[in-house]
Amino acid sequence: MITDSKQLLVEQWHTLHNNHETYENYALIIKLVATIVTLIAFTFSVTTFVTLSILAILWLQEAIWKTFQQRTANAILTIEDKLALPEEEQIHESNKPYLVYKHWRENRPKTNELITEYLRSSIKPTVIYPYLPLMLLTLIF
C-alpha cells in the first residue's frame, strides 16, 4: 500500500528523474554547439586562439552543467533510499519530505571547493569528449 507521503516521494522522484534526463539533453546540445563552432572556425579560418577559447568556455559550461546534474542525481538517490526502507521504517521516514534546496543550502561547498568540483567534473571522459579532440584538431589544422 502506498501512503500519501510515499506517493509524494514517488512524484518527486519522477520530477527529478525527468529533470535529470533533460539536463543530459542540454549537455548534448552544448557538445553539438562545440562541434558546430569548430566547423565554422575551420570554414571561416577563425584564429586558433579564438576557437580554443570558445571550446574551453563550452567545456567548462558543460562541466558546471554536469555538476548541477549530479546534485539532482544525489537527490534522486536519497529519495530512492527512503523508498527502499523496510515497511516498518518507511512509515516514519517517508513522512519526511526531501527538501532539495534546503539540503543544498546546508551543504553548499565554499567557492574553492565548488571550483574544484567543476574542474573534477570537466575531466570525466563523458564530459571531456568531444572538447579535447576538437581542440587537438584545431591545433593540428
Task: State pLDDT tens for residues 37-60.
Answer: 999 999 999 999 999 999 999 999
Per-residue cell: 130: 568531444
For 82-123, give the secondary structure using H, E and C.
Answer: HHCCCHHHHHHHCCCCCCHHHHHHHHCCCHHHHHHHHHHHHC
Q: Is 0.85 surpassed by the pTM of this model?
A: yes
d(C-alpha 30, C-alpha 37), whole Å: 10
What is the number of alpha carbons within 13 Å of residue 131 lying toward its C-beta? 24
Residue that wins the pLDDT comparison between 44 and 90:
44
Task: Domain count for the chain, please give it.
Answer: 1
Instruction: Please tell me what DSSP assigns to residue 28.
Output: H
Domain with 45 in it:
4-140
